[in-house]
Structure 1
């Protein structure tokens, strides 16, 4: 079945597709969005979870949840313009928040050795759900000055100074010193095959182990660093050191939307559909994209509930995720250039899954992030957690919902997809009880446990792109290059070397490709007049 010809067809109703469509309809261009899912938003998805006895459902961002750098960021600007409440990650003194709640400085290094030695007595106590043992555990941890968010293998928090040092080292090595080594070294440039993991694990180059004397404490530091694999969605050994933090992006602290990203992608969708020029169709799985014989239009063939439909447009903007282009792309006729195929293969498409555990009440400290070091319960959950920590975000301090969000990135995210929901529910509750029972007289049963599996989704095959060793930022630029004399264009986070793996990246690329379409239409109009 065929449909009428549109000026522009956009494949995908994620952030880039919605951004592109809005820019075009505001310019008076006829636009049709084809979305395979039964919802808009793509890899931004604010999920509503009803809970019996609660007036409102709980809400969680199952995909993207951060605004990375608020200064000049269009996501921050849209949130402010639409009066969407934000949680900006500042410390109490008004400075951007660190990874956990630590205010540790390099000048404190002299106290680290003694802190490390005294840690064993503070962290060896056992936590359980009974009143007596919980009270006893917290009593024996009374030396802790404040909760730094790092919990030891035996359950309770580590001694304050050691936890502070670990937080400082991980944050500095992962975000600062590694970038300085890769981008600003006066002596050398990392080789193309060098990985971030090689640097992080090398004590002669990395600052990860600074001030840590025992092998145990060094293992703690590495375990916490590996819990940050969700930042890039890949194993540390799979990330290029040469291009680590080479992007030019927005500055300032990060932020999260209190009510989720739905406020932003719904606003974009509303602007599109209220216009007489815009339409969004869901459940349209794109199978083929072909240039017409006269090369003046593009045909897009979809399948919906077994029915095949062909749409024709003067311009098509493809916003399919990199994972889809790598694993299950539509048929392109003519085939894509070899340089495009090579760039698509070289780039990495990372994985960040989430486990969200909601309780009737919050019984943990008001620290925003928790690093849970390897323990017997975590190893029983996933064997690879024997050597890596779990990173959890406290949603209660962000939006008042008594829930913990576990970031399962890279290898941990892959392992998560191999176990059942029932397995996750059983073991993640045991892990939470193991670490947080010392803060309460009893640990309630969770009201909800939600697990994402983005790698298993045929419309994403992962979460966002990254640069592995051997790739180059030019690969992102290649994916952005228009084809077929600007009849076929591409947008999305994997088409921007400065803003990949963000939400503002696809938004900006959508607007960029909308302008390419408008420029082409203007040129054709001028040629017709001449």
Structure 2
């Protein structure tokens, strides 16, 4: 079945698709957005979870949740314009902090913080040590509790000085020294085949094991480093060192949305559909994209249930995720160029899954992030956690919800998708009770356990892109290159070498490709007049 022709079609109602469509509509262009899912948002998804006995449902961002660098960031500007409440991440002394390193700062650790005391925090017979490694030594017990949480295999937190050293080493190696070596070394450039993981595990070059004399402590450092696969979305051995932190992005502290990313993507959607120029159709799975015989338009064929629909437009903007383009792309006629296919193959599409565990009350310290070293309960949960730590964010600090958010990236994220929800619920609760039992006289049962499986989502096939050894930032640029004389354009986080693996990247590329469409339309009008 065919429908009327449109000026522009946007494939995908995620951040890039809605950003592109809104910009086009506001410029007076009629736009049809085709979305395979039964919801908007794509890989930004604020999930509402009802809880019996509570008036309001819990809400969790199952996909993107951070604004990475608020200075100059258009997502931050949009949030401020629409008065969306934010939690901005600062270190203990009020200075800006990056998303994960907000609790791990080199300066105090390197000085050994002889003046910093260790504070006991316990409501049971178990003594649990918590302390700080923020930029300046904290002055109160509350500051000490908020800033650090590395829990040992036996359950309670590690001794302060060791936890401080581990935090410092992992953060310095992961963010600072590796970046300096890869991008600013006066003597050498990493080879195209070298990985971030290979460099970090090399005691002769990496700072990961500095000051750690025992094999046990070195194993702790490596286990914590492996938990940062939640940041890369891939195994550290699968991430290019040569281009590690080569991107130019926004500075300043990171932030999260107190009420979820829905405030952003619902605003874009509302702005786009408030006039008759914009329309979103859900449940439309794109199967084919073809240039017309006269090369004046593009036909898009979708599957809706058991039926087919064909739409025609002068220009089409494809915002399908890299994972879909790699594993289950629509049929392109004419076929995509070989250089496009090769770039798609070389780039990696990583995985970050989440486990959110909500309780009737928070019975853990008022700390923003926790690192849980390998333990018997975590190994029983997923065998590969024998050698990997787990990282969790305390949502009670962020938005008052008594919940913990576990970041399961790379290998851990893949392993998570192979187990059932019941298995996750049973074992994640045991892990939490194992580590936090010393903070309370009783550990309640969780009210809700939510698990994501982005690899299994046929409309995502993963979470976000990364650069493996052998790839190049130019591959991102290749994925952004318009085809078919600007009839077919591409947007999304995997089309920008400076803003990939972020939520602002899709927004920026959507705006950029909207302008490309407007430029092409203006040129066509000019040629028609001549």
Q: Distance in 1 between matches of 2:318 and 2:60?
A: 28
The number of aligned residues is 514
- Following the alignment from structure 1 to structure 2, what is the Cα–Cα distance between the partners of residues 206 and 92? 27
C-alpha distance in 1 between matches for 2:232 and 2:301: 33
* 1:351 matched to 2:351: yes
Cα pair distance change 1:432/1:524, threshold 3 Å: same
- The yes-or-no answer on 1:444 pairing with 2:444 is yes
Q: Does 1:76 align with 2:65?
A: no
Instruction: Flag the 1:509–1:414 CA change in 2: closer, same or farther, 3 A.
Output: same
Residue in 2 aligned with 1:130?
Answer: none
C-alpha contact (below 8 Å) 1:100/1:370 kept by paired residues: no
Q: Which residue of 2 aligns with 1:95?
A: 95
Given that 2:109 and 2:165 are in contact with CA atoms closer than 8 Å, whether structure 1 keeps it comes out as: no
- Distance in 2 separating the partners of 1:204 and 1:234: 24
Residue matched to 1:248: 248
Q: Deviations over 1:299-347 (max 9, x none)?
A: 0000111110000000000000000000000000000000000000000
How far off is 1:143 after superposition?
A: 9.5
Distance in 2 (alpha carbons) for counterparts of 1:103 and 1:480? 37
1:292–1:298 Cα contact (<8 Å) kept: yes
Residues of 2 paired with 1:28 and 1:480: CA distance?
A: 24
Residues 135-284 of structure 1 aligned to structure 2 (within 5 Å): 135-138=124-127, 141=129, 146-147=144-145, 148-284=148-284
For 1:16-95, what aligned pairs fall within 5 Å after superposition? Answer: 16-95=16-95
Partners of 2:228 and 2:267 lie apart in 1 by 31
Q: Is the 8 A contact 2:130 2:149 kept in 1?
A: no
| CA–CA distance in structure 2, aligned partners of residues 68 and 370 of structure 1 | 20
Query: Could you tell me which residue of structure 2 aligns to residue 375 of structure 1?
Result: 375
**How far apart are residue 55 of structure 1 and its match?**
1.3
Counting only pairs closer than 5 Å after superposition, residues 376-525 of structure 1 correspond to structure 2 as 376-525=376-525
Matched-pair contact (CA < 8 Å) for 2:105–2:171: no
Separation (CA, whole Å) in 2 of partners of 1:111 and 1:261: 38
How far does the alpha carbon of each residue in 1:173-204 deviate from its partner, in whole angstroms, 9 at most, with x for none?
A: 11111000000000000000000000100111
Give, in angstroms, the shift of residue 221 of structure 1.
0.8
TM-score normalised to structure 2 length: 0.94
What is aligned with 1:299?
299
**C-alpha distance in 2 between matches for 1:111 and 1:41:** 45
Gaps of 5+ in 1: 128-132
Native 8 Å contact 1:235 1:410 kept in 2: yes
Q: Residue 105 of structure 1: CA displacement?
A: 2.3
1:326 touches 1:344 (CA, 8 Å); kept in 2? yes
Structure 2 distance, partners of 1:45, 1:102, is 28
Give the 3-state SS of the residue equivalent to 1:509 in structure 2.
helix
Secondary structure of the residue that 2:20 maps to in structure 1? helix
State how far apart, in whole Å, the 1-side matches of 2:97 and 2:270 are: 34
Do 2:104 and 2:171's aligned partners in 1 also have CA atoms closer than 8 Å? no
Aligned counterparts of 2:230 and 2:306: Cα–Cα separation in 1: 37
Q: Are residues 487 and 104 of structure 1, via their aligned partners in 2, closer, same or farther at CA, if it must alter by over 3 Å?
A: closer
Change in Cα spacing, 1:505 to 1:142, as seen in structure 2 (3 Å) is: closer
**Following the alignment from structure 1 to structure 2, what is the Cα–Cα distance between the partners of residues 396 and 491?**
35
Task: Determine the C-alpha separation between the residues in 2 that align with 1:142 and 1:19.
Answer: 44
1-structure distance, mates of 2:108, 2:487:
55
The offset of 1:102, in angstroms, is 4.4
TM-score of the pair, normalised by structure 1: 0.94
Shift of 1:134: 6.9
Instruction: Indicate conservation of the 8 Å contact 1:100/1:149, yes or no.
Output: no
SS at match of 1:51: coil
